[in-house]
Amino acid sequence: MYNYNILNDKELTGLLQQDDEHAFTEIYNRYWSKLFAIAANKIKELDEAEEIVQDIFVSLWKRRNELGVIDTLSSYLAVSVKYRVIKILDKRNNQQKYSDYSQHTVNLTDDSTQQWLEFEELRNRLAAFVADLPEKCRLVYQLSRDSGFSQKRIAAELGISEKTVEAHLGKALKTLRTRLSQFLL
C-alpha cells in the first residue's frame, strides 16, 4: 500500500494508468481546488466552473490508459481547464454574436446571408473536428492555433518534447484537412 500524498505527479500518473483508484482520488484531492479556482476566475458562474472541473476529472479517468508520462500533472490539468473555459466562452460569444446579428438584420436579398451561414457551418464543423481529436493532439493544436503559442512554449506548457509537439500538430492538421475536404465535397 502506498502513501499517496507523498507521491509525485509522475508516480501518481503511473499508478493511475494501472487503474489505481486511490491514485485518482489523490490527484482529485490535490488539484480540484486549484482547477476550480482557475475555472471560476474566468467563467464567474460557479456551477459551470464546477462542471468544467468535474468533466476534466471524468475525462482523466476515462483516458487514464492513454496518458503518457506526465511530469507536471498540475500544468496538464490547468491547460485542460483553460481550454474547456475557452470553448465555453467561445460558444457564449458565438451565441451572443448570432443573437446580436439576428436582432439587427432584416431579410437580406443578396447571397451574403447564405455565404455567412455556410462559413458558420464550416467553422462549427471545424470546431467539432477539433473536439474529436485525441486529447493531447487537440491541446497542442489549440495552443498553437487558438493561443498562438510557439512549439517550444507548447512543449514547456505540456511537459513534452518539441518533436512530440510537432508530431501532434502534424497529425492534427492532417486529420483536419482530410475531414474538412470530405465535408466540403
Annotated domain spans of the chain: 1-105, 107-185
List phi, psi (to 5°) of 19.
Answer: 65, 30
Distance of alpha carbon 166 from the chain centroid: 18
Stretch 104-132: mean pLDDT, rounded?
A: 77
pLDDT digits 0-9 by tens, 53-103: 999 999 999 988 887 767 788 888 988 899 998 888 888 888 777 776 666
CB 147 within 8 A of CB 138: no
Structure-block grid coordinates of residue 179: 475531414
Q: What sign does the CA torsion over 46, 13, 73, 89 have?
A: negative
Structure-block grid coordinates of residue 99: 443573437
Residue located via cell numbers 489549440: 142
Binned at pLDDT 50, 70 and 90, residue 145 comes out as: confident
Residue located via cell numbers 488539484: 31
Name the percent of the chain lying above pLDDT 90: 25
Binned at pLDDT 50, 70 and 90, residue 148 comes out as: confident
Strand, coil or helix: 92: helix
Nearest to 26 by CA among 40, 11, 48: 11
Res. 106: pLDDT tops 70: no
CATH class of the 1-105 domain in this structure: mainly alpha
Stretch 99-122: mean pLDDT, rounded?
A: 70
For 23-41, give the DSSP string. HHHHHHHHHHHHHHHHHHH
Structure-block grid coordinates of residue 22: 486511490
> What topology is assigned to 107-185 in CATH?
Arc Repressor Mutant, subunit A (1.10.10)
Put simply, whether the predicted model's pTM sits higher than 0.85 gets the answer no
